């Protein structure tokens, strides 16, 4: 049966050239009462973090770094590690804890695993931004959280440095770099390229480094952007595999003296080949749309964490007058759960008001008249306004899809309302073409 064409606007001649999209750093930063820029976080919190790191290094006590699993989190973690050793901490006193597949630092098994390592200081980077008890059950342990995910709630008694309310929001590696770069005069060459790798990992390799972001010209003169971007791809690969081999990426990054050192790591190369093959296998799924046409839903079943990659890819290619969000749901990643990733469609990036994925997801959930929001829990609609998602039960996910009315025919246009033409589509590098999902060209 031929799929019904989705309403996609045909551009006028004056709009045939690619629409200008605002760059990430074009947003106006916050300012204090004297007009000084407030970025990348609260000045008081940044200074407190510096004091915390100096205390860690001078104490010669056990320090535990708890980085997130992606390039941004791992780079931020190694920036902390290198800063601590440069400040005088013994490398043997610094340990790492990598959270298991599907877990958060708030899960009891993770809290127990961290406690068994007997740290006196814990530094959590690129995760942990949600309400919870102390990072571990030991009042003598001091904790620092460095993160950029949207939240106003954090673990009890932790010192927090969050970039989430200071636009343009810094990545965790960039925030960590800004905290550490002024602690020692010679630290920048050791951590600058890691800041670039982590930031490109989260914000993409076309990012324009404009103020208030730091000037990275010296970094890119020393290390080519190609080597940095290729290293990011390799660092992200192990955690996407079914094996969830994050430790390989951490060890490779910790041992590296430049991005080029990462490019020859056999385990990372093998993991990337595995993920590329899985993305190619899973990416040809046909989308279904919410009744209002705002959300495109792709369903896959994979033990690998490829749903964010596929969401990002399709967000750059699907294009319609109504489309706002691309959602890729993976029912094979964790038993009994659906892991889903959402990205703003490229065609919707300049909408006014701006698309906010977290608000949109919560608005759908609020249509429920039972206890769906409670049952979905804390792992629903977390992350960023531009890149969010969740991990929820299969039953709850199906209820969410029902609230979106995914697959239902859209209502006919009201009388006098202008009917849009079928489509325009940006060229996709994928072998399957989007034309087949919307009917033949007229």
pLDDT tens for each residue of 180-197: 999 999 999 999 999 999
- Rounded to the nearest angstrom, the gap between the alpha carbon of residue 296 and the centroid of all alpha carbons in its chain is 19
Tokens of 62: 């056990």
**Looking at residue 361, what is its pLDDT?**
97
In angstroms, the CA 291 to CA 351 distance is 20
Long-range contacts of 33-42 (CB under 8 A, 24+ apart): 37/212, 38/166, 39/166, 39/168, 39/170, 39/212, 40/163, 40/166, 40/169, 40/170, 40/174, 40/175, 40/178, 40/212, 41/161, 41/162, 41/163, 41/166, 41/170, 41/175, 42/161, 42/166
* 311, 341 contact by CB (below 8 A): yes
Q: Which 8-state DSSP code applies to residue 27?
A: S
**Looking at residue 437, what is its pLDDT?**
37
With cut-offs at 50, 70 and 90, classify the pLDDT of residue 49: very high
In the predicted model, what is the mean pLDDT of residues 154-175? 97
**Looking at residue 410, what is its pLDDT?**
83
> How many Cβ atoms sit within 10 Å of the Cβ of residue 59?
15
> How many Cβ atoms sit within 10 Å of the Cβ of residue 221?
8
Measured over the CA atoms of residue 39, residue 148, residue 68 and residue 95, the dihedral's sign is positive
**Residue 213 CB partners (closer than 8 Å, separation 6+):** 25, 168, 170, 174
Paired strand residues for 174: none
In angstroms, the CA 249 to CA 74 distance is 8
* 303, 274 contact by CB (below 8 A): no
With cut-offs at 50, 70 and 90, classify the pLDDT of residue 419: low
Q: At what angle do helices 188-203 and 225-240 cross, to 10 degrees?
A: 60
Lowest mean pLDDT among 131-145, 148-162, 332-346, 418-432: 418-432
**Looking at residue 412, what is its pLDDT?**
74
Express as a percent the part of the chain with pLDDT over 70.
88
With cut-offs at 50, 70 and 90, classify the pLDDT of residue 416: low
**Looking at residue 411, what is its pLDDT?**
77
Backbone angles phi and psi of 20, in degrees to 5: -70, 125
Q: Which 8-state DSSP code applies to residue 438?
A: S
For the chain, state the CA radius of gyration: 23
Tokens of 43: 């000045």
In angstroms, the CA 386 to CA 95 distance is 33
In angstroms, the CA 15 to CA 138 distance is 60
Higher pLDDT, 431 or 348: 348
With cut-offs at 50, 70 and 90, classify the pLDDT of residue 20: low
Question: What percent of the chain is helix, strand and coil (3-state, nearest 5)?
Answer: 40, 15, 45
Checking DSSP bridges between strand 295-300 and strand 288-289, what pairing results, if any?
A: antiparallel
Whether residue 421 is predicted with pLDDT greater than 50 in this model: the reply is no
In angstroms, the CA 411 to CA 293 distance is 10
With cut-offs at 50, 70 and 90, classify the pLDDT of residue 434: very low
**Residue 404 CB partners (closer than 8 Å, separation 6+):** 290, 291, 295, 297, 364
Q: Which 8-state DSSP code applies to residue 132?
A: B
Whether residue 413 is predicted with pLDDT greater than 80 in this model: the reply is no
In angstroms, the CA 343 to CA 407 distance is 19
Tokens of 352: 């006014």
* 97-125 per-position pLDDT tens digit: 999 999 999 999 999 999 999 999 999 99
- Return the C-alpha torsion angle 97, 100, 102, 104, nearest 10: -30
What is the residue-wise DSSP string for 54-93?
A: HHHHHHT--EEEEE-SSHHHHHHHHHHHHHHHHTT--GGG
Whether residue 14 is predicted with pLDDT greater than 70 in this model: the reply is no
Burial 371-390 (b: 16+ CB within 10 A, else e): ebeeebeeebbbbbbbbbbb
Average pLDDT, the chain: 90
Whether residue 425 is predicted with pLDDT greater than 60 in this model: the reply is no
In the predicted model, what is the mean pLDDT of residues 6-25? 56
């Amino acid at each position: 049966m031929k799929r019904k064409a989705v309403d996609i606007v045909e551009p006028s001649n004056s709009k045939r050239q690619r629409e200008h999209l605002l760059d990430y750093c074009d947003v106006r930063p916050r300012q204090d009462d004297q007009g000084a820029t407030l970025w990348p976080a609260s000045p008081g919190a940044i200074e407190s973090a510096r004091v915390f790191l100096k205390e860690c290094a001078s104490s010669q006590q056990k320090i535990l770094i708890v980085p997130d699993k992606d390039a941004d989190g791992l780079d931020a973690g190694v920036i902390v590690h290198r800063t601590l050793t440069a400040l005088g901490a013994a490398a043997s006193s610094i340990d790492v804890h990598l959270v298991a597949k599907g877990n958060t630092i708030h899960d009891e098994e993770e809290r127990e695993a961290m406690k068994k390592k007997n740290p006196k200081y814990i530094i959590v980077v690129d995760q942990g931004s949600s309400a919870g008890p102390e990072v571990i059950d030991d009042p003598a342990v001091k904790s620092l959280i460095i993160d950029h995910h949207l939240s106003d709630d954090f673990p009890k008694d932790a010192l927090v440095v969050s970039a989430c309310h200071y636009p343009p929001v810094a990545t965790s590696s960039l925030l960590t770099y800004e905290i550490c770069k002024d602690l020692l005069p010679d630290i920048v060459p050791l951590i600058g390229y890691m800041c670039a790798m982590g930031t490109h990992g989260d914000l993409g390799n076309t990012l324009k480094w404009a103020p208030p972001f730091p000037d990275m010209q010296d970094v890119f003169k020393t290390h080519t952007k190609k080597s940095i971007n290729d290293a990011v791809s390799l660092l992200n690969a192990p955690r996407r595999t079914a094996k969830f081999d994050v430790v390989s990426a951490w060890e490779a990054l910790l041992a590296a003296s430049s991005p080029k050192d990462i490019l020859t790591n056999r385990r990372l190369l093998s993991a990337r080949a595995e993920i590329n093959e899985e993305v190619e296998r899973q990416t040809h799924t046909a989308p279904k749309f919410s009744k209002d046409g705002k959300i495109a839903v792709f369903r896959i079943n994979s033990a690998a964490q490829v749903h964010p990659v596929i969401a990002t890819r399709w967000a750059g290619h699907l294009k319609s007058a109504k489309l706002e969000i691309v959602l890729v749901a993976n029912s094979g990643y964790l038993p009994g759960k659906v892991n889903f990733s959402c990205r703003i469609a490229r065609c919707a990036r300049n909408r006014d008001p701006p698309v906010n994925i977290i608000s949109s997801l919560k608005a759908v959930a609020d249509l429920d008249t039972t206890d769906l929001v409670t049952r979905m829990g804390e792992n629903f609609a977390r992350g960023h306004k531009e890149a969010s998602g969740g991990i929820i039960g299969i039953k709850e996910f199906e209820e969410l899809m029902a609230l979106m009315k995914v697959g239902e025919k859209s209502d006919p246009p009201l009388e006098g309302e202008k009917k849009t033409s079928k489509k325009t589509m940006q060229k996709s590098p994928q072998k399957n073409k989007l034309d087949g999902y919307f009917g033949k060209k007229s």
